[in-house]
Amino acid sequence: MRILITGGCGFVGSNLAIYLKQKYPGYKIFTLDNLKRRGSELNLNRLNKAKISFIHGDIRIPVDFESVPDPDLIIDAAAEPAVLSGIIESTRYTIDTNLLGTINTLEYAIKKKAKLIFLSTSRVYPFRLLNKLRITENAYRFQIGPSQQMEGAGKNGVNESFSLTGPKTPYGATKYASEILITEYQEFMGLSAIINRCGVIAGPWQMGKVDQGFLVHWLASHYWKKRLTYIGYKGSGKQVRDVLHIEDMYNLIDFQIKNFNMLQGQTFNVGGGIENSISLRELTRLCEKATTNRMKVGSDSKTRPGDVKVYITDNSKVTRLTKWKPKITISETVEDVMNWLITNEEILKPIFT
């Protein structure tokens, strides 16, 4: 088995590469990455030690795929993944990487007859509709209400039949446009693909920042006593997301690789689920406990464009078809990330401070 992981020096890509290589030493794994994400260069050493090949390349440039030995499978984990990318930063880079980069990847997959696992996002669901979910509120968090009226929403969160019509943020739009093209390549060009619409994923080697990787950003900021702010929703810190540990994500990808023919053509919502959901305010408590540092968190009442009060993944479909379920709790994820920060303090400090 030869696997190409685009974005293989990023958080998801590097961890998947290393887990796969540990479990299947005979697999040949290649990573292609332009090292755009700050901190992704730190993964070169890990990949090298694990005997995983690195190719410095850019998915925006078709010729960059040519130095990769022919793969049987491509895991597309290269992206500009920040929700605010394309809004406060270059829209062009987001479109070029997340959409044109996908097209180049699809063309390459067809040429090499390689299967594809595509990492999409819950952000394909329109933010205005998500903000119309029935929400309850207590002192610590917003919570998805027990009865929902919209198709695809229920007490356990959002499933795959939730409407896709409406603005999503440029990030979500480029991912959704990629999904549409994948469907066309499946129908007319003979592509075999699985799409995972992931909620928040977290774990060691995530270079968390304000608008991407919030759990790691929050914990690292507690650890190094960096200023933190609850942004939006009156600065309450009550916004909620479900969080999936990267090892749980890997276990699903492993199953999908082994059962590809049964699952190809499917699109799955994949996330930590309702049991692994947390508000920022609640995360603050966990971070205080883990680091023993108590921070005064500031408040900024202005809600960021495209933000949602609550997103929870309903994993029913993926669990029904694969028996996969997340196993790692948020407290365990925090503990795991904390150990990583302590063990790698010297190289991580310049990234996070």
Ligand X SMILES: NC(=O)c1ccc[n+]([C@@H]2O[C@H](COP(=O)([O-])OP(=O)(O)OC[C@H]3O[C@@H](n4cnc5c(N)ncnc54)[C@H](O)[C@@H]3O)[C@@H](O)[C@H]2O)c1
Q: Is 34 in the site for ligand X (CB under 6 A)?
A: yes
- Tell me the CB-side half-sphere exposure of residue 271, using CA atoms within 13 A: 27
Stretch that binds ligand X, among 10-18, 180-188, 261-269, 299-307 (CB under 6 A): 10-18
Backbone dihedral region for residue 82 (phi beyond 0: left; psi -120 to 50: alpha; all else: beta)? beta
Size of the site for ligand X (CB under 6 A): 27
Q: Is 200 in the site for ligand X (CB under 6 A)?
A: yes
Interactions with ligand X, residue window 285-314 (CB under 6 A):
none
Q: Is 172 in the site for ligand X (CB under 6 A)?
A: no
- Enumerate residues 6+ apart whose C-beta is below 8 A from 307: 83, 127, 232, 233, 239
CB 160 within 8 A of CB 152: yes
Q: Which C-beta is closer to ligand X: that of 126 or that of 301?
A: 126
Contact with ligand X (CB under 6 A) among 9, 129, 182, 193: 9
Stretch that binds ligand X, among 22-30, 31-39, 143-151, 223-231 (CB under 6 A): 31-39
DSSP string of 64-110?
GGGGSPPPSEEEE--S---TTTTTTS-HHHHHIIIIIHHHHHHHHHH
Q: Is 44 in the site for ligand X (CB under 6 A)?
A: no
Compute the distance between CA of residue 61 and CA of residue 47 in angstroms, rounded to an integer: 23
| Pairing outcome for strands 229-231 and 298-300 | parallel
Pick from 119, 5, 108, 118: which is nearest to 55 by CA?
Answer: 5
Stretch that binds ligand X, among 52-60, 134-142, 147-155, 276-284 (CB under 6 A): 52-60
Interactions with ligand X, residue window 57-86 (CB under 6 A):
58-60, 77-81
Interactions with ligand X, residue window 225-264 (CB under 6 A):
none
Contact with ligand X (CB under 6 A) among 3, 12, 153, 280: 12
Helices (H), 135-213: 170-188
CB 141 within 8 A of CB 217: no
Contact with ligand X (CB under 6 A) among 2, 24, 28, 36: 36
Q: Is 101 in the site for ligand X (CB under 6 A)?
A: yes
Chain residues that interact with ligand X, rule: CB under 6 A: 7, 9-13, 33-37, 40, 58-60, 77-81, 97, 101, 119, 121, 198, 200-201
